[in-house]
Structure 1
Amino acid sequence: MTVGPNDIRTHQERRIAYHLTQGHGPTIVFLGGLRSDMQGTKAVHLEEWARAKGLSYLRFDYSGHGESSGSFEEGCIGDWAEDTFEVVHALTQGPIVPVGSSMGGWQALLLARRCPERIAGMVTIAAAPDFTEDGYWATFTEAQKAQLERDGQVELPSDYMDPYVITKRMIEDGRRQLVLRDPLDLPFPVRCLQGTADTAVSTQTALRLMEHATCPDLHLTLVKDADHRFSDGPCLGLIERAITDVIGAAR
């Protein structure tokens, strides 16, 4: 049975829209990327796949994304981490398998840090942990840094959509959410997927995450010529197999 679209209201009074499919096994929780939404190819495809397998599945929009309340420019990594935790807490019981795409990979790691006892396994797709610091701030010119301080925001071009508006709040909050500076314990099976033609997240980021994390069962799969979307037929099949693999390994 699928429940949705529905919404919940968080303790921060943000309205979060979601779709929930009831089934068996750990609940697969899809965590989308920055400025993506739950209507994206991967989120919808995996819902259909989970339903066909009889698996529980949850997809939702962070605040400022898709059908949820708020504007993107008001949000930050910490806000979306709160949204994720509250949605998972309110709508699921028992073990979960976060599937984090891009920024959603960072969110999956933050969720694991907050409630590791809930995580049966994890799949990341072009995970982008710490990107506000290592991807944005580290590459800002002095002029961009000055503009951020003066105007509170700066626009950045994107290969995949309209320019991003990056706010001073996002940068400053991102520093409080970093996961690659301190020990990162992932005591469950993890499967990381990364395309070599990804222009938004480099293979070096995937390798850094693999080397930094303490995990008894972590596999990184590099896919030649796959881009950041990672949503063509073969890539979707790899995601399905990765989810199946972590669920099986967690038993």
Structure 2
Amino acid sequence: MSEFLETRQGRRIAYDRLEGAGPGVVFLGGFKSDKEGTKALALEAWCKARGRAFLRFDYSGHGASSGDFLDGAIGDWFEDACAAILGLTEGPQILVGSSMGGWISLLVARAHPEKVAGLVTIAAAPDFTETLWAGLSEVERQGVLEYGRLERPSEYSPEPYIFTRRLIEEGRSRLIFDRPLGLGMPVRMLQGTADADVPVALAMRLLDHMAGPDIRLTLVKGADHRFSTPDCLKLIEATVLKVGNRAA
């Protein structure tokens, strides 16, 4: 059963945690996803089998945590991630960030490098709010400004995804590509070539943008944005193991 962490902003963050050896592993989920997803549970089982510490949690407005999803923004979810990582783990952690979680994991690594032993990103989507805004027509932009939201159909939900004006505007204070990004820890990026949401071009752009002594990108032919097939899950686990060995 999940436990709850009260953040200094007054949000209740639901989490599940395994005690074990370090460096621990922390899973950071994507936009509108929760800690009960396939990748989070598979990684938890993998860590449990190896006696390794593990943490998965829901951002506010997601899953079992408090709050309304439509009230949230990147900065709020970054604060939630920092509260969970700083308050619930011991020592440096390996952050595994999926999609939006890849963006948030990069923000955590930039703000608290002492807590990050290594990074594994899966279809990382840094600055996706700006990419979304740039792709809107003038009519759509006016709609966001006037009504405060934009609806888009999603293959991951029967209901459309809603992107709020606050999400887009607040995201501009959390960008990755607006300044240099130096990362001293090992970084491994995983990316599917059949990802319809995060193109390979974005992964290449992020690879070029990051500076550090140990950064690699792995492309998986045919893998989609979910990156949850048995082979993809095995690759995530093998990558976490390698990063942990390099960080030790």
1:146 is aligned, of 142, 145, 152, to 142
Report the counterpart of residue 113 of structure 1 in structure 2.
110
TM-score by length of 2: 0.98
Partner of 2:202: 205
SS of corresponding position for 2:181: coil
Mapping for residues 18-167 of structure 1, pairs under 5 Å:
18-134=15-131, 136-161=132-157, 162-167=159-164
Alpha-carbon separation, structure 1, partners of 2:150 and 2:109: 31
How many residue pairs get aligned? The number is 247
Query: Shift of the alpha carbon at 1:231?
Result: 0.4
TM-superposition CA deviations, 1:169-227 (whole Å, max 9, x none):
00011100001120101101011000011111000111011000001111101001100
- Residue identity in the other structure for 1:208: R
Rounded to whole Å, the distance in 1 between the matches of 2:178 and 2:5 is 33
Secondary structure of 2:154's counterpart equals coil
Q: TM-score, length-normalised on structure 1?
A: 0.97
Paired residue type of 1:210: L
For structure 2, the residue ranges without an aligned partner over 5 or more in a row are none
Within 1, Cα distance between the matches of 2:68 and 2:222?
34
- Structure 2 SS opposite 1:187: coil
Of all paired residues, the percent bearing the same amino acid is 53
Secondary structure of 2:180 counterpart? coil
Task: State whether residues 22 and 91 of structure 2, in contact with CA within 8 Å, keep that contact through their aligned partners in structure 1.
Answer: no
2:120/2:188 contact within 8 Å kept:
yes
**What do residues 38-72 of structure 1 show as CA deviations (whole Å, max 9, x unaligned)?**
00000011000100011000000000000001111
Cα distance in 1 for residues equivalent to 2:56 and 2:181:
25
Q: How does 1:168-207 map to 2 (within 5 A)?
A: 168-207=165-204
Q: Given the alignment, which residue of 214, 230, 235 partners 2:232?
A: 235
Q: 1:118, CA displacement in angstroms?
A: 1.2
Structure 1 vs Structure 2 CA RMSD: 0.7
Give, in angstroms, the shift of residue 163 of structure 1.
Answer: 1.4
